[in-house]
Amino acid sequence: MIGVTILGSTGSVGVSTLDVLRRHRERFQVIALTAQRRIDELYAQCLEWRPSYAVVGDADGAQRLADRLRRGGDAGTEVLAGEESLCRVAALPETHYVMAAIVGAAGLLPTLAAVEAGKRVLLANKEALVVAGRLFMEAVHRHHATLLPIDSEHNAIFQCLPPGFQEGLGRGGVTRILLTGSGGPFRNTSLEQLATVTPAQACAHPNWSMGPKISVDSATMMNKGLETIEARWLFGAEPDQIRVVVHPQSIIHSLVEYADGSLLAQLSHPDMRVPIAHALAWPQRMASGVATLDLFEVGRLDFQAPDFARFPCLRLAFQALARGGTAAAVLNAANEVAVGAFLERRIRFTDIPEVVETTLERMTIQEAASLPILLESDSKARRIASEWIAAAEIR
């Protein structure tokens, strides 16, 4: 049996992972499940899967979960709390695969713990690479971990790249990576209307069912900017080797361009169970529960260049990638704070890029030489972004 730990089991990726595992119980065993604060959902998962460990964000939540499990007759799950416990369950000897699906920079240290333990890491937490790309990839190689991307775009690229691409894209004949994105719910919304959109509208993605933070990132196209930075580190691509393509149908999940003029693409329904099943079974294949794509039903596929005036967050991400150092960590931290404030209706949708740009302008970008430097930049950027938001509320 293959032991699996799911970091972020109550989020959309975690739930999809459990759906895939449910179809292959003879092959996989759930060792640990974790959630920040969704105690009800985690309780139900623990009753079904009987993991050895469950981790909650704080001690109070852990106590509530432990009490409920005890009353429900499940005394076999040890309930833990906090970041240190997340790192512990990510590195357990009985865990072989770790699904890293905690949203945001909070997932960095537990994911890194899994890497340092030499696990197969199924990476759905793009922020780990956005914040600490070079250091993270160096740890992957140093500890001989296996890193498999779960974002549908990066998983598609992984499937389309040649064997040995880690030694250099050019050596495999690769000239460019084409990263597709739907354009989100506001692809055709007038610029004037964007200032008045609500969190509910921003979270209503036309193709994907996702959590609120990533849904807002998709609406601003910051998600595609973060994915561009992630692709740079995952595949050893130079910034000018990555191009974003707006593809409204979300059927082609990304493409790889070769020197002979070929374009290789991976197509499927927009369902996260496809990349999850691919990474769990790799290098083999197994059923995901997703229906085969009917091309006659799809009918047409459209493509267009991204509009940087409509999506300034995408422009800011490319600029942060070009600057290097701690710029991407600052970008990500400011964006997380801004998105949180928008979801709480404290700022407008169009304020999100302003928060990010102002924070980048006020921060001193340093060389990303160590994890403490990156974490310090993350913390300072959050303070600056929060100050901007507080001032905006006063105005």
* Contact by Cβ (8 Å): 22, 284: no
Domain residues of the chain, as ranges? 2-149, 151-189+223-305
Q: How confident is the model at residue 25, as a pLDDT?
A: 96
How far from 361 is each of 154, 315, 320, 331, 355, CA to CA, in Å? 30, 14, 11, 10, 10
How far from 123 is each of 6, 43, 102, 230, 361, CA to CA, in Å? 11, 24, 10, 10, 30
Fold held by 2-149: Rossmann fold (3.40.50)
Read off the pLDDT of residues 275-333 as tens digits, 9 standing for 90 and up. 999 999 999 999 999 999 999 999 999 999 999 988 999 999 999 999 999 999 999 99
Q: How confident is the model at residue 394, as a pLDDT?
A: 57
Where residue 52 falls among pLDDT bands split at 50, 70, 90? Answer: very high
β-pairing verdict for 174-181 and 242-246: parallel
Those residues with Cβ within 8 angstroms of residue 13's Cβ, 6 or more apart along the chain or in another chain: 99, 101, 124, 150, 272, 276
* Contact by Cβ (8 Å): 349, 194: yes
Where residue 118 falls among pLDDT bands split at 50, 70, 90? Answer: very high
Query: ∠110-337-56 over CA atoms, to 5°?
Result: 35
**What are residue 29's phi and psi, to 5 degrees?**
-125, 130
Which of 151-155, 190-194, 291-295, 318-322 has the lowest average pLDDT?
190-194
Q: How confident is the model at residue 243, as a pLDDT?
A: 96
Q: How high does pLDDT run on average in the chain?
A: 94
Where residue 208 falls among pLDDT bands split at 50, 70, 90? Answer: low
CA 169/CA 161 separation, integer angstroms: 8
Token pair of 178, please? 């084409």
Sheet holding 120-123, edge to edge: 78-81, 53-56, 28-35, 2-7, 97-100, 120-123, 146-149
pTM score: 0.92
**What are residue 182's phi and psi, to 5 degrees?**
-70, -25
Residue 395 predicted with pLDDT over 70? no
Residue 209 predicted with pLDDT over 90? no
Query: ∠133-138-141 over CA atoms, to 5°?
Result: 130
